[in-house]
Amino acid sequence: GENVEQHPSTLSVQEGDSAVIKCTYSDSASNYFPWYKQELGKRPQLIIDIRSNVGEKKDQRIAVTLNKTAKHFSLHITETQPEDSAVYFCAAIMFSGGYNKLIFGAGTRLAVHP
Amino acid sequence: NAGVMQNPRHLVRRRGQEARLRCSPMKGHSHVYWYRQLPEEGLKFMVYLQKENIIDESGMPKERFSAEFPKEGPSILRIQQVVRGDSAAYFCASSQRTDTDTQYFGPGTRLTVL
């Protein structure tokens, strides 16, 4: 069935270091991959997304890469800051139950230490 | 343009009572999704609705839970005879379409069952 695997489940970095979160998906027809950031007690917020017609997308300190052949995509955060500490969820669109459904990974808890 | 609205933000119920959670999608969005999030866990899909139709309720328990999205007014997630295990954050998201379209989340309703 449809599945999105996300690794690692927790990630601890020093301020200024880079952080990388990886996700794999099962449906080769998937063509949309958003990333959400959820701070404690808040709603998940879209931070970046990528569609299957590009291999990389950047927005300031965050970037997402997509490898359709290997069916994996990654979130890269450079020059991490304490305010980057949050839970990050990847997701992929998959055709399931007769419609295109957004399937979420289990989340990565990122802690950035000053 | 207001985002996705949910109310109430916090809801306390005693075991056996009913909980009614409301979600107003973003303007122009006709697709609504409900997710449940237990503390320290990921987003679990419950149900997907379009106006007056339930498209996919595969993630919603068959008993005590129901959802609707009437022609007029907000989407409602209803939990009858609540139990302690129903305590969670319930998030609603909306999108314009399902096909490669972004889901935007509301602030959530935190349900506590005493």
Do B100 and A32 lie within an 8 Å CB cutoff?
Answer: yes
Tell me how far apart the alpha carbons of residues A22 and A105 are, in angstroms, rounded to a whole number.
10
Please state, rounded to an integer, the average pLDDT across all residues of chain A.
Answer: 93
Q: What is the pLDDT of residue A36?
A: 97
Burial class (CB in 10 A: 0-12, 13-18, 19+), A107: buried
Residue B108, phi-psi category: left (phi > 0), alpha (psi -120 to 50), beta (remainder): left
**In the predicted model, what is the mean pLDDT of residues A90-104?**
83
B26 and B94 Cβ atoms separated by less than 8 Å: yes
Model confidence over A22-77: pLDDT tens digits? 999 998 888 899 999 999 999 999 999 998 888 999 999 999 999 999 999 999 99
Do B107 and A34 lie within an 8 Å CB cutoff?
Answer: no
A35 and A63 Cβ atoms separated by less than 8 Å: no
Q: Is the dihedral of CA A89, B22, B113, B44 positive or negative?
A: negative
Mutation for testing the B interface, residue in A102, A108, A109 having most B CBs under 10 Å: A102
Tell me how far apart the alpha carbons of residues A104 and A91 are, in angstroms, rounded to a whole number.
4
Model confidence over B45-89: pLDDT tens digits? 999 999 889 999 999 999 999 999 999 999 999 999 999 999 999
**How far, CA to CA in Å, does A88 sit from each of A84, A101, B23, B112?**
10, 19, 24, 25
Local structure of residue A26 (DSSP, 8 states):
S
Mutation for testing the A interface, residue in B47, B97, B105 having most A CBs under 10 Å: B105
